Structure 1
């Protein structure tokens, strides 16, 4: 169907299906990923081996996000890649049941990361071709965060690893079946040049990389930091879930103003709020001091992530490729950040990691003036 002829009811149906798809896929990803370090410990993997597993997963997903986003633009199609991604992720995540040691975990998690990245960028691009897409992107991102929240909670409730991996796989199967409810829109074929896209959008990608490397440096040691501040395991899980849950609330509320909000200002607000959050983290003397920070953090991520997506979708014809590069930036930061956070915490303590993250976010805020 042509975007110009899509009725409001058809657009709403497409948006609802897209939101449910991102919810299911993000819940599946989080449900598995949170338990991988614990399973690695039970399988007697070294910290170095666990680092290789996490790194290979992130790099595979980064490559997949970029590759299939670009292919989607080249072919002018979205649905084949959305369906393919969920179809591949179903068996890939089911294979996690066979992980018995370092070799099998490295192979399976690399495959899982690659398969999980196939559908992400084409799905965002599909949503952006609907009428009034800006407010729909807010809701879509909100359901992404809601999926993370359910994944966090689910990981704490399932009785064992194998049930979690099975549920992750089933969620991808359900997403694959739901994807058949989507309708293909007519999209002009483009031949995106990665070099040109990076050149055109380098301020945003660089801002995002700086902020997210700092954030990942913090998240690596954050549970241990909370333990030292006196938090129980229940509080640790609750504080993580609060952040993601409030993201859903903020994004849902802001969706009503999605057509009027300035995407550049949203990015700058998100970067500046991130810097304040990391600074206040470093000053906390009790886990209860972290509680109000999670509300600010949720607003920071909501404005930064959605503002970045809206900026790229507005500025670039190559919607899937530009969005894929943003997702790839997140994945690369997920590889670099934990290494940086571990080194800094080892040398100067965990509060130093948070101060470095604050500095990186401030540097990104300054660079955002070039947007």
Structure 2
């Protein structure tokens, strides 16, 4: 069962992230959308992901995880296929909202299913996800054509959905959880709030990062894929080794390395200079994400709910960040926007240190 869950995690991340890299490129280069429009579309995806994460995460703890896992993967397969036929920003927005809803279900429920049914290690499971999106990014970069990339994405999600339907039925632990899980939120708010702040700043950068690489550093689509892959493969090797370490220390290290990463981005003058900074980013996000996920999984019996809220905070950042980031990029440029992201990483660290005492 663990092997199938790992493979589902790999396929889902490969399919989701291969398409996500090309969305800003398609909008900016093919559909001639502004950076603000790109921010709105990225925000639509993140909003849907947020709502699905918190609503379905709670529902899965109450009613059982397997049925929602199947629904999520089935919707993802359909939505990923529809991306191929989107020919305007509004069509792509609608499809991305549907795919974001599916991603929210998958990301909140799959980790809870894995922990309950296989009793595996969170860091290893997270590293498989990084390997998946790294592989997807690299293949997307080699393909180059966005229609073919969207077709590859759809293929990965269809295979993943078929695999999930073969997972055996089990006796699932269920919980009584209020509509707003106040106790879960109270136990974990230092992590939720600080991650929200840091990741909002990160999304200032990510919303136009492929365009920064292409317009400022003169990368082609292959280099964009390689650059994303360095981060992803770095996370694969790092995350799988973090389970023995203290969650709190990992979180603090993650914030500090994030600040250094965004400072490094702002100073980079070539594609080759970006590569070591991508390695630093891999260490930063691996430490922060595994530390945060380990903490909420270990501190809460309601694992789908608590991990769903963590994913929800990441998604809220994906709602706020792209809108502000798209606007900042128009007003102050790519590099100063990266400095703003650095500042929010340091603010996130300060909030975590203060609120957890």
2:227 equivalent in structure 1: 239
Partners of 2:25 and 2:211 within 8 A in 1: no
Q: 2 CA distance for matches of 1:230 and 1:89? A: 33
Alpha-carbon distance, 1:261 to partner: 1.6
Equivalent residues of 1:78, 1:184 under 8 A apart: no
Alignment of 1:62-77 (within 5 A): 62-75=50-63, 77=64
Q: For structure 1, which segment, 77-86 or 279-288, has the greater mean C-alpha deviation from structure 2 after superposition?
A: 279-288
The RMSD of aligned alpha carbons is 2.3
Instruction: Work out the CA distance in 2 between the residues paired with 1:296 and 1:211.
Output: 16
Partner of 2:128: 143
CA shift digits 1:37-82 (9 cap, x unpaired): 333342454554443322212111111111111100112x111111
| 1:98 match | 85
- Choose which of 284, 288, 312 in structure 1 pairs with 2:296: 312
Contact 1:190–1:318 under 8 Å retained in 2: no
Distance 1:93 1:129, change over 3 A: same
Residues of 1 paired with 2:328 and 2:216: CA distance?
19
> How big is the shift at 1:222?
3.3
Unaligned runs of 5+ in 1: 1-13
Q: Work out whether 1:119 is the aligned partner of 2:110.
A: no
| Whole-angstrom distance in 1 between the partners of 2:82 and 2:326 | 30
SS in structure 2 at match of 1:118: helix
- The 3-state SS of whatever aligns with 2:8 is helix
1:210 aligns with 2:194: no
Q: Which residue of 1 aligns with 2:66?
A: 79
Residue 361, structure 1, aligned to residue 348, structure 2: no
1:3 aligned partner: none
Q: What is the total number of aligned residue pairs between the two structures? A: 351
Question: 2:255 & 2:163 partners in 1: Cα distance?
Answer: 35
Change (3 A) 1:157 1:104: same
Greater gyration radius? 1
Counterpart of 1:261?
Answer: 245
Whether the 8 Å CA contact 1:82–1:120 is kept in 2: the answer is no
Q: Unpaired runs of 5+ in structure 2?
A: none
Give the CA deviation at 1:231: 4.8
Q: Which residue of 1 aligns with 2:43?
A: 55
Distance 1:220 1:79, change over 3 A: same
**1:176 equivalent in structure 2:** 161
Aligned partners of 1:200 and 1:22: how far apart in 2? 27
Correspondence for 1:335: 319
How many angstroms does 1:342 deviate by? 3.0
